[in-house]
Each structure stands twice: as C-alpha cells, then as structure tokens.
C-alpha cells in the first residue's frame, strides 16, 4: 500500500516540511534510501546522509534544523525513532498471520487450548498444559507437562518449555529459547566426583516479556526463577537458577547472570556483562559492555563499567592513566637511580 506524507504526518501528529503529496510504500535506511521509501534520522552522526539520501520521506525530530537543502520531504515528530517504531508496528500487525492447528501437531488430550490459537507442524503440547487465547506456537516447539502459556504469546520455531513453567500474556520467545532446563546444581564429593542436586522448581515469566533466540533460563532448585513484566532479553543470554529480574530491565546479548542473583527494576545490562551469584543489583543500575559485577550494588541509578565494575567516571580516569604507565614506569626508575646516587654521595 502507498501512503502520502500528509497521511503519515496526520497519523503521527507530525509536521510536513516539503511535498505533502509524495508517496511511499516501503522503508529504507537513510544511507541506502531509495525513491518511494520512508527513512528516519535519530542519531546525529547520520545527519550527512540526510542531504544525500534518495528516500522520499524522512522522519526527523521536531527540533531538527537542516544546515543545507534537503531533497526528501521531512516529517517532524517529537521522537523520530519512536515514531518509526509506531509505523513498523502498524505494518507488522497488518501482515498475514498463521492460523489453525496443523494436523501433524501433537496436543495431549488433557491439555487446554484457547480460542484462535495457532499450532504449527510437529509442535508438542504435553499433559495438562494450558494455552491462552490467540497464542501462536510455531513448528517444532516443545511444551512440556503442566505448562501455562498466556494469551497472545508467541513461541517461534524450536522453543523448548520444560515441565510446569509459566509464560505470561503477550510474551515473545524467539527461535531456540530454552525455558526451564535444570539449574547447574552439583555437590562435590570427597573423591572429586559430582553428585547432581535435583532442580524441582520452575521458571515464571510475567506479561510482556521478550526473550531472544537461543537464550536459556534455568529452572530453580526450589521455588521459581522469576522474570518480571516488561523485561527485554536479547539473544544468547543465560539466566541461572533462582535468578530474579525486575520489571522493565533490558539485558543485551551474551550476558550471564549466576544463580540466585537479584536484578532490580529498569536496569540495563549491555553486551557480555557478568553478574556473580547471590548478588543484589539496585534499581536503575546500568552496566557497560563486558562489565563484571563481583558483588552487591546498593545505590540506585549508577552507571558501572569494567571488571570488577566501578563508577564510570572513575573507570575512565583509570584508563587514561593506564595509557601513561610506560612513561610513568620509566620516570620512577630514573627517580630511583637518582635517589641511590644521592644516598651514595651522602654516605661518602
């Protein structure tokens, strides 16, 4: 479908600068813009592309003032990135959705399946499991016994949900995610071997949570590993047994959170962050990429970098000094030699 700049601006409650009748039917990155597409400018470092792009319409922030002529029609909105998300969501909602239950799917006779549910080929739904209205279970998905899947939740191909785990409403689990595998619980014996400690708990995921591809969340030893509402987890993340993640926290790829750690609300863990077991992280904590959290973080709202993680300003000062260490080492050696020479002179 084609839409004019005016139609898009009216939908977004934005302001048109340029030809309001120009039409678009697709999206493009601003650096690869093509005629008939809509793009956006959010990060200032991409501003030079605005003056070169062939995109017909570009979303920009309301306070943006071009420094030279722009060929594209601009639509000024309060937040161009958020406005783009609104448009993409609208497009995604109007895309065809799979429906019905495939004849090659297996659903236990004791399972309960709600209205308007999609179940793909070779999906497995175990005994006494409950699937909420409008859920989508893509092919080759495994749902064990006693599992609860909330209304409107999507499980993409190859997701594995172990017995008695619970997924809330309107969640999205991407391909290969594993929810409820055993926690890493072993007892060392005197002869050097390990005895497995049974993991009899489960995983509870609240509403509006998104979990990336090949992410694993382990079941608890007892009780529940808990991911609270609104949490967003990237691909290739591991949450160990009995971990708790607070509301609206975001965790980027390749992070690892060890057993029984508790992460607060509205935290951000950038890529490859590691959190030690049994630690407690205060609300609104931000960990920079590859930070290593070796203990509790009690003060809210801190930004921490490095390993062990420390205040970002202190870390940057330390890095600046590290670059001078070779010169400082030479200066110290010279000073030591001078001191020895002075001592010899005084002794003589």
Residues belonging to the active site: 241
Q: Rounded to whole angstroms, what are the CA distances from 256 to 33, 93, 147?
A: 38, 33, 25
DSSP letter string, 160-204:
EE-TT-EE-TT-EE-TT-EEEEPP--EEE-TTS-EEE-----EEE
Radius of gyration for the alpha carbons in the chain, expressed in angstroms and rounded = 27
Distance CA 225, CA 202 (A): 6
Beta pairing class for 73-77 and 15-17: antiparallel
DSSP state of 75: E
CB contact set of 118 (below 8 Å; sequence gap of 6+) = 97, 98, 99, 100, 101, 135, 136, 137, 138
CB contact set of 331 (below 8 Å; sequence gap of 6+) = none
Distance CA 332, CA 145 (A): 68
Of 268, 236, 271, the closest CA to residue 252 belongs to: 271
- Interior CA angle at 323 toward 273 and 316, to 5°? 45
DSSP letter string, 231-300:
-EE-SS-EE-TT-EE-TT-EE-TT-EE-TT-EE-TT-EE-TT-EE-TT-EE-TT-EE-TT-EE-S-B-ST
Q: Rounded to whole angstroms, what are the CA distances from 216 to 151, 157, 255, 335?
A: 22, 15, 11, 55
Distance CA 122, CA 49 (A): 47
CB contact set of 298 (below 8 Å; sequence gap of 6+) = 280, 282
């Amino acid at each position: 479908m084609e839409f004019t700049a005016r139609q898009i601006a009216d939908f977004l409650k934005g302001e048109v600068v340029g030809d309001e009748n120009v039409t678009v039917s697709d999206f493009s990155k601003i650096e690869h813009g093509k005629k008939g597409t809509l793009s956006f400018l959010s990060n200032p470092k991409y501003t030079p592309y605005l003056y070169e792009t062939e995109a017909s319409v570009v979303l920009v922030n309301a306070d943006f003032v071009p420094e030279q002529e722009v060929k594209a029609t601009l639509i000024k909105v309060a937040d161009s990135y958020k406005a783009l998300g609104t448009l993409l969501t609208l497009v995604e909602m109007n895309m065809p959705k799979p429906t019905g239950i495939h004849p090659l799917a297996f659903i236990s006779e004791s399972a309960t399946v709600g209205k308007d549910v999609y179940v793909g080929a070779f999906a497995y739904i175990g005994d006494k499991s409950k699937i909420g209205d409008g859920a989508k279970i893509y092919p080759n998905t495994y749902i064990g016994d006693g599992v609860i899947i909330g209304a409107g939740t999507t499980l993409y191909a190859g997701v594995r949900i172990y017995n008695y785990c619970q997924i809330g409403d309107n969640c999205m689990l991407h391909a290969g995610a594993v929810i409820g595998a055993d926690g890493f619980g072993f007892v060392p014996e005197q002869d050097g071997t390990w005895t497995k400690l049974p993991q009899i708990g489960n995983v509870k995921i609240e509403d509006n949570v998104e979990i990336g591809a090949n992410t694993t969340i382990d079941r608890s030893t007892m009780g529940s590993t808990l991911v609270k509402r609104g949490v967003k987890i990237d691909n290739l993340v591991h949450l160990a047994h009995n971990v708790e993640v607070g509301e609206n926290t975001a965790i980027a790829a390749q992070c690892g959170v060890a057993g029984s750690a508790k992460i607060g609300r509205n935290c951000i863990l950038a890529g490859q962050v590691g959190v030690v077991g049994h630690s407690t992280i205060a609300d609104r904590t931000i960990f920079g990429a590859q930070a290593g959290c070796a203990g509790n973080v009690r003060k809210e709202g801190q930004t921490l970098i490095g390993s062990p993680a420390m205040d970002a300003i202190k870390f940057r000062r330390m890095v600046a000094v590290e670059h001078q260490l070779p010169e400082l080492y030479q200066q110290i050696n010279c000073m030591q030699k001078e001191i020895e020479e002075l001592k010899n002179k005084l002794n003589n």
